[in-house]
Amino acid sequence: MERPKIEELAKGIFWIGGRERPRDMSREALEETFRKAKEKGLDIVGVSAFRGRVSTGEDAEERALFPTEHFPVDDEARGRNLLKEQVEIAHGHGLLVLTYLNAHHYGDRFYERHREWAQVFPDGRPMDKLYGRGYTMCVNTSYRDRMFRMIREVARQGVDLIFLDGPAYYPGCCYCSYCRGKFRERYGEEIPMKEDWRDPLWRKFVRFRYESIRDFLVDAHRVLKEEGFKTWIYSNTSGQTWPVWSFALSPEDLWEGEDIIGMESYQYYARPEDVPVWLYGWTTKFGRSVKKDKPFFLFLSGAHENWTKYSVPDAEMRMAIAQGIANGVNILEDRPQAGEFIDFTRRWRNALKDLESLANVALVWSKRTGDYAYEEVVRGPLEAQAGQAGEEVEEAFQTGDYFEASQVQRFKREGERRFVEEVRGFYEALIRLHVPFDLLGDSSLTPEGLSRYDLLILPDVECMGEGAVEAIRDFVGDGGGLVASYRTSLRDEFGDERKDFGLKDVLGVGYLGGTLGPLRWDYMRVKGGHPVVEGVPEFCRFPGDDLLACPEYCLKVEARDGEVLGVQLEPQPARYWGETPETSYPTIVARRYGGGVVYFPGNFGAQYWAQGFLDYLRTIGNALRWASRGEPPVAVEGPEALEVTAYRGREGLVVFLVNYQYSVRRPFREVVSIGEVKVSLKVPHRPDRVVRMTTGQDIPFFYEGGLVRFVVPNLGLYEGVLVQP
């Protein structure tokens, strides 16, 4: 039976068996297991290469299920190659084979044997609190040789895919002698001993950690290629909505060493209300943009993390899978809730191949900004006086190295919060406005990466190299639209400060230095008469008022070439206060350059995320329409809690709808159905059919002037619509 070609994994949607690998190793049991997997519609199955509980400390070493001189062999595998048998039987059923290798979590007994491999803190203590208790090894030590032997031995048995769980670096690590030597050789200096984002050397250390993981993965590939193995390797990178420098798990930085871009998108690791319901779509959009020609694998967790023995409701898992499919995933794991989706993707397998996004809007999630951006926002006397009741205010007389280090860390974490919320705000706004969009990384800020879009959104993309600046300048100069906010382009790609915006000539503003904030209860004045502020403010308490709640922070800038549509008022000394005078600092600037440019000097998206001001949502929508050089490929009429994506595929155009209407809070048991959704889609000519993909039924449609219009009734969690030419 023919199995999928490994190089085809980037072209469609494929399913991999869950993490449970075969336990009964009789040939009869293996035949039955893999036959059922194939009948269910799976493409890839997991097989066991080793046994042993080294992560809990019960075992000192893993035991191989195949003959080897390099590792202990499990008793059941003596005289029998259990790994090769699993591979051959699975291949016989037309399945690709994956095996799991632990590359990050070890217990006491393993550590006692291999102390010299452990990641260590500056004082030499090992990192021994992984997941509460456990050690992790450093890829710059001779641990890498052990892993390379393991990878080589497994590949020799015919395994198609190897998943390395890890490797990663952990906060505060690593200061082992191997890392110190490699850093000294690469950068000519010693590793800095404390976290100081003002120090370029610290930022080099952050980069060094990414480089070390990448080097390990690249060298693992080299080991396989030297012996002619075609086995693919991949590890887990982060797909969460926060910076990942502390773990060195950026898919962009590790791309060279990955055959598959696998990204974790686990719920929750935080209070459920703090995790966006659209997280899994975010991860998939970002993975789709950074994968290039490689497959993208969306990692989902069935557990309510951190409680690994407690599951999430079925509705939550179905929501996650639906978001992955709607946003362009290539590989998904089988779950108890996955049956309907496996059937869906099997039925429409050809239609879902080679999907190309039709989105003409791109939002940027800058990992580099999350890595290196740093802003010290110091309260002046007025801001300190105006602090909210009960808020802790740092004492001005506190001094010393410890206090300085704590302040640096606090400024960094607060800056990360502002950055994350800025991107989240624009992301959510695009969903509520029903705008199809792609989520790009730093590596896509090139002429080629931007060429297919009509509008680019830069939410506080502070760290930006000259190549990216030039690509954006050319994009706008050629007629593309731009919406940008806050500290965009104030640092280069390594976090070094610029004196002025790299994009100052595009934004039409100049940086004066400094930031107003935090502004807890303050206002901007809206200057009417421009499409960007049409209908704003709507929610003033007093008729005819032109005041709008301002962002929490506002950069001090001057408008040099553009129309000022909003201006910051002086901070109020207290919540209940009269109207204060205008400052000279704009809060919204628009200019007709290229397609159109709108710049928000404040953290506009973050304030929308935090407060949900509907006037902000309207302003963002106005800005998108005014600045973009083209209309969206699809428009829908329906509730705001509805995401729409659109693609061109082998059999026509595909529109996905995902319904985010659920009960009072997360976790939830069910979504609330939508009565009907009206869809208008741009098409090159009158289509032959419009098909509801969950049922296979034809949908009546109306065609006129390059638009096909149809209605999707009774929308549950999700729907796909195929418009066939």
Q: Are residues 255 and 267 in the same domain?
A: no
Quick count: other Cβ atoms within 10 Å of Cβ 128? Answer: 17
| pLDDT tens-digit map of 151-197 | 999 999 999 999 999 999 999 999 999 999 999 999 999 999 999 99
**By C-alpha distance, which of 414, 417, 345, 399 is closest to 649?**
345
Q: Residue 30 gets which letter from DSSP?
A: H
Please indicate, yes or no, whether residues 142 and 219 belong to a single structural domain of this protein: yes
Identify the DSSP state of 455. Answer: E
Do both 564 and 680 map to the same domain? no
Q: Tell me, yes or no, whether 9 lies in a domain.
A: no
Same domain, 614 and 659: no
Q: Is residue 622 part of a domain?
A: yes
| 576 shares a domain with 427 | yes
Q: Does the residue 396 lie in any domain?
A: no
Is the preceding omega at residue 140 within 30 degrees of 0, hence cis?
Answer: no
- Give how far Cα 41 sits from Cα of 6, 334, 387, 466, 696, Å: 16, 10, 59, 48, 19
Tens of pLDDT along 639-656?
A: 999 999 999 999 999 999
Same domain, 251 and 294: no
Query: Which domain-ending residue is among 575, 607, 627?
Result: 627
Nearest partner of 322 among 690, 622, 717, judged by Cα: 717
- Are 252 and 304 in a shared domain? no
Structure tokens at 349: 């397998």
Residue linked to tokens 């490699």:
182
545 and 660 belong to one structural domain: no
Residue type, 703: Y
pLDDT computed for residue 378 by the predictor: 67
Query: Is 467 within a domain?
Result: yes
- Residue bearing tokens 């428009």: 635
Identify the CA nearest to 238 among candidates 349, 360, 106, 371.
371
Are 113 and 187 contained in the same domain?
A: yes
Sorted by sequence, the CB contacts under 8 Å of residue 426 that are 6+ apart come out as 363, 457, 459, 485, 605, 608, 620
pLDDT at residue 632 tops 50: yes
pLDDT at 20: 66
Model pLDDT, residue 400: 58
The predicted-structure confidence for 18-45, as pLDDT tens digits, reads as follows 666 778 899 999 999 999 999 999 999 9
In angstroms, the CA 702 to CA 573 distance is 59
pLDDT, mean over the chain = 94
In eight-state DSSP terms, residue 33 is H
Residue carrying the six token digits 């910051």: 568
Domain count, the chain: 4
CA–CA gap between residue 366 and residue 461 (Å, rounded): 6
User: Has residue 352 been placed in a domain?
Assistant: no
Report pLDDT digits (tens) over 339-364. Answer: 999 999 999 999 999 999 999 999 99
**Whole-angstrom distance, CA of residue 400 vs CA of residue 626:** 51
Tell whether 565 and 620 lie within a shared domain. yes
CATH code of the domain covering residue 619: 3.40.50.880
Structural domain ending residue among the three candidates 603, 627, 651: 627
Residue 600 lies in a domain: yes
* pLDDT tens profile 200-215: 999 999 999 999 999 9
Per residue in 217-259, pLDDT (tens digit) is: 999 999 999 999 999 999 999 988 888 999 999 999 999 999 9
Q: Are residues 197 and 281 in the same domain?
A: no
In a domain, 405, yes or no: no
At residue 385, the 3 state secondary structure works out as helix
Rounded-to-integer distance, Cα 614 and Cα 114, Å: 57
490-514: pLDDT as tens digits: 999 999 999 999 999 999 999 999 9
Which structural domain, as residue segments, surrounds residue 321?
263-347
CA distance 522 to 578: 11
Q: How far is it, in rounded angstroms, from Cα 374 to Cα 101?
A: 37
75 in a domain, yes or no? yes
Residue 692 belongs to domain with CATH number: 2.60.40
pTM: 0.95
Phi then psi for residue 53, to 5 deg, are -110, 70
Q: Are residues 329 and 280 in the same domain?
A: yes
Question: What does the pLDDT read at residue 424?
Answer: 98
- Final residue belonging to a domain, choices 207, 225, 259: 259
